[in-house]
C-alpha cells in the first residue's frame, strides 16, 4: 500500500507545531499502525531527518502508552482498539491519513505525537490507592466479594490510562478515567478504608489539572479502547456527594 501521511510535527512544548506531509510506499497490510510509523522513521533516519516521536510500550493493547488521533478519531477508526492493535489492513491503498497528538490543555505536547500525561498520575496519587499491607498474596477466597461487585470492579479496572477519553471529549474531561479508578477501588472490600475521602480528593485533583467538566456527551466511552461504561461516572458522582462532605486532606 502507498499512503499519504499528514503528521503533527512539534519540536518541543514551547514551539509551534504544524502538519507535515510524508509519502510512505510499500506498507504491508499486516503491519500495525505503529510498525508503519517505524518504517517511516527508519526512512527518515536514513535520510538524516528527525524521526517522528510517538509513545508505545507493550504494543499488545494492555499498557495504555500508545495513542494518537487518526483522521480525527482517538486511537483510529476501529472501535475498542488501541493504536498499537490497529492494523493497516483497515486502510486502503492511496489513503490520506492525518495523525495528531491528544489535544487537551492538561496534556501538553512534549514532542510531535507525545503528550505529557502525568496529570493522570497525580489524580491517582490523590486517592487511587489502598492502605492495606501488601504482603504475600492472600488466599483468593479469604475475603468474600459478591460476583456482581467483582465483575463491576474488574470492568472498571480494565482502564489502561491511555487518555483517549480526554482526547475525544469536546470538554477535554478526564471524568471517565477518574470514575473508572474511583469505582474499581470503591467496589472492593480492600478499598473501603480510604473510600470516604477518595472521590473528593481525586475529583479535586482532576479539576486542578485543568481538565474540563463532564456534560454527558459520551464521546469518551465511544473512543475508549476498553469500552469503559459511562455508568461508572454515575457511580463516581454518588461517591463524590458522600465524599465531599468529608474534611479536605
Residue with cell 475529583: 203
User: Using the rule CB under 6 A, is 78 a contact of ligand FES?
Assistant: no
58 binds, among ligand SF4, ligand FES, none (CB under 5 to 8 A by kind): ligand FES
Contacts of 147 (CB under 8 A, 6+ apart): none
Size of the site for ligand FES (CB under 6 A): 12
Burial class (CB in 10 A: 0-12, 13-18, 19+), 130: middle
CB 202 within 8 A of CB 178: yes
Virtual torsion, Cα 58, 183, 178, 138, nearest 10 deg: -50
Q: Which of residues 83-112 bind ligand FES (CB under 6 A)?
A: 84
User: Using the rule CB under 6 A, is 44 a contact of ligand FES?
Assistant: no
User: Using the rule CB under 6 A, is 128 a contact of ligand SF4?
Assistant: no
Pick from 164, 169, 199, 202 the residue near ligand SF4 by CB under 6 A.
Answer: 164
CA proximity to 175, closest of 211, 142, 150? 211
Region near ligand SF4 per CB under 6 A, out of 52-60, 86-94, 159-167, 235-243: 159-167
Kindly state the smallest distance separating residue 124's Cβ from ligand FES, in Å: 17
159 binds, among ligand SF4, ligand FES, none (CB under 5 to 8 A by kind): ligand SF4
Q: Which of residues 177-236 bind ligand SF4 (CB under 6 A)?
A: 177, 180, 224-226, 228
How many C-beta neighbours within 10 Å does residue 110 have? 16
Residue with cell 478499598: 191
CA proximity to 227, closest of 131, 136, 159, 161? 159
Pick from 65, 173, 178, 230 the residue near ligand FES by CB under 6 A.
Answer: 65
Binding site for ligand SF4 (CB under 6 A): 159-165, 176-177, 180, 224-226, 228
Binding site for ligand FES (CB under 6 A): 56-59, 61-66, 82, 84
Amino acid at each position: 500500500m502507498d499512503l499519504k501521511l499528514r503528521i503533527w510535527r512539534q519540536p518541543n512544548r514551547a514551539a509551534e507545531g504544524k502538519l507535515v506531509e510524508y509519502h510512505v510506499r510499500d506498507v504491508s497490510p499486516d503491519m500495525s499502525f505503529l510498525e508503519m510509523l517505524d518504517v517511516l522513521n527508519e526512512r527518515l533516519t536514513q535520510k538524516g531527518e528527525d524521526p517522528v516521536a510517538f509513545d508505545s510500550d507493550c504494543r499488545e493493547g494492555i499498557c495504555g502508552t500508545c495513542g494518537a488521533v487518526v483522521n480525527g478519531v482517538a486511537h483510529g477508526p476501529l472501535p475498542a482498539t488501541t493504536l498499537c492493535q490497529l492494523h493497516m489492513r483497515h486502510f486502503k491503498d492511496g489513503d490520506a491519513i492525518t495523525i495528531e497528538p491528544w489535544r487537551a490543555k492538561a496534556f501538553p505536547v512534549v514532542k510531535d505525537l507525545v503528550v505529557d500525561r502525568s496529570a493522570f498520575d497525580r489524580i491517582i496519587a490523590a486517592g487511587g490507592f489502598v492502605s492495606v499491607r501488601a504482603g504475600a498474596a492472600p488466599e483468593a477466597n479469604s475475603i468474600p466479594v459478591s460476583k456482581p461487585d467483582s465483575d463491576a470492579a474488574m470492568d472498571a479496572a480494565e482502564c489502561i490510562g491511555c487518555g483517549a477519553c480526554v482526547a475525544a471529549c469536546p470538554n477535554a474531561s478526564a471524568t471517565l478515567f477518574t470514575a473508572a479508578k474511583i469505582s474499581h477501588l470503591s467496589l472492593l472490600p480492600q478499598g473501603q478504608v480510604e473510600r470516604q475521602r477518595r472521590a473528593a480528593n481525586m475529583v479535586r485533583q482532576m479539576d486542578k489539572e485543568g481538565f474540563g467538566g463532564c456534560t454527558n456527551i459520551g464521546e469518551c466511552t465511544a473512543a475508549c479502547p476498553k469500552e469503559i461504561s459511562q455508568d461508572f461516572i454515575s457511580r463516581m458522582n454518588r461517591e463524590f456527594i458522600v465524599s465531599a462532605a468529608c474534611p479536605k486532606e
